Amino acid sequence: MEAGKTLLGVDTQASLEAVLGQAKAQSACDVVVASGDIVHEGTPAVYQRFLHTVKRFFDVPLLCLPGNHDVLANMHDARLPMQAITLGPWLIAPLDSHVDNEPSAYIASDDLLELTQAINASDAEFLLLATHHPMVEIGAPWLDKDRILRVDELTNAIAATPGATLCGTIFGHAHQEIEATSNYGPLLGSPSTCFQFAPKSEKFSLDDKAPGYRWLFLAADGCITTKLERLTTHSFKPTMN
């Protein structure tokens, strides 16, 4: 979005800055992960503004995932960082689940190869996987139809890759809080930094909850703990109709 423009009544640049500001006031962090659908109009200039905005608040390694509203070539042109990050014994690694302008998840063999190569190349003990789409049904049919499918096959292949042990997965896309479990650790979805989707909705439905973010604490023994936060002052309610 151009600066000052709104999407469903929300100034998404302002809500992003409010989220980053509240998070910074709470705590420092080591890494920021942006879980996709980073912009609505994916021009290189808007991606550059996103990058500068994040760096103003957190000058730490950043991992950006492409979502279905993103334009991957323009993310590359804007030099958004999209590579795996090593943090102590952890590897935080992306798996591209997106296709430009196509809502459904799709994981190309090259995308999986890129992930397994990153795992192979790392000395890390533990893997935190980051995708855009959920790997789990969330009870909202209009979102569930686009989730990552054949999850067992996928996660078994990742887990069988020599190197870091898969300990959990984080994702975006669903614009709501999701905490599920799997054979390979927690599956954690984050709220959006702009408007939220209504949980368990049959079709596209907005929620008036505040924009939010998720803290992740990656322990030295491979455990993940997490805390979800929302803006304490909520002035970014979307146009509900």
Binding site for Fe ion (CB under 5 A): 37, 67-68, 173
241: its two tokens: 């109709």
Closest CB 67 distance from Fe ion, rounded Å: 4
Q: Cα torsion for 57, 47, 63, 111, to the nearest 10°?
A: 170
The residue among 104 and 122 lying less far from Fe ion, judged by its C-beta, is: 104
Closest CB 163 distance from Fe ion, rounded Å: 28
Residue 208: C-alpha distances to residues 6, 94, 133, 161, 197 (Å): 16, 30, 22, 42, 8
The residue among 73 and 223 lying less far from Fe ion, judged by its C-beta, is: 73
The residue among 39 and 119 lying less far from Fe ion, judged by its C-beta, is: 39
The answer to whether 179 and 160 have CB atoms below 8 angstroms apart is no
Closest CB 102 distance from Fe ion, rounded Å: 10
Residue nearest to Fe ion (CB): 173
The answer to whether 132 and 98 have CB atoms below 8 angstroms apart is yes
Closest CB 174 distance from Fe ion, rounded Å: 8
Which residues, in sequence order, are bridge partners of residue 211? Answer: none
The residue among 67 and 222 lying less far from Fe ion, judged by its C-beta, is: 67
